[in-house]
Structure 1
Amino acid sequence: MLRSEEGYLLAVRRMTEPESVFGQLKNNRGFRRFLLRGIEKVTLEVGWLSLAHNLLKQAANDQKQRAAILQ
């Protein structure tokens, strides 16, 4: 599957997507280091960061949709 054009496009997409999220967390949200120590606590902290990122992204999409409906 990876040798097909579709597989290649999926592989390329997987390689680039996480970079933008980490860049936004570091640059836009000011996340530089974990506040907690230990794998369980760090996993929890990553979960909270991911949740916040996804909620903010969803709120921005909802706002764009509302603005488009009103116009």
Structure 2
Amino acid sequence: MIEPESVFGQINNNRGFGRLLLRGLPNVSLEVGWLSFTHNLLKKAVVDRNREMAAQGSP
């Protein structure tokens, strides 16, 4: 089971995002989409960096 609350907690606390800046359903959907995109992109960057470091550390 996936826990979405942790993602929102990371976006709010770790990324410093407190409130939506835009109003209206289409604008809010766009803003949440960008937040989700950047969250996933940062997660992928961490995974890629860890793989690269593991590959460099192994003989």
TM, length-normalised to structure 2: 0.93
Structural mapping, 1:1-71, within 5 Å: 13-14=1-2, 17-71=3-57
- Please tell me whether Structure 1 or Structure 2 has the larger radius of gyration of its CA atoms: 1
**Structure 1: tracts of 5 or more residues without a match:** 1-12
- The two structures, once aligned, show a CA RMSD in angstroms of 0.7
Whose relative contact order is higher, 1 or 2, with alpha carbons under 8 Å and at least 6 apart? 2
TM, length-normalised to structure 1: 0.78
Residue by residue, what CA displacement relative to the aligned partner does 1:3-60 show, whole Å, maximum 9, x if unpaired?
Answer: xxxxxxxxxx24xx10110000000001110000000000000000000000000000
Q: Distance in 2 between matches of 1:57 and 1:33?
A: 22
Question: How many equivalent pairs are there?
Answer: 57
**Structure 2: tracts of 5 or more residues without a match:** none
- Percent identical residues: 60
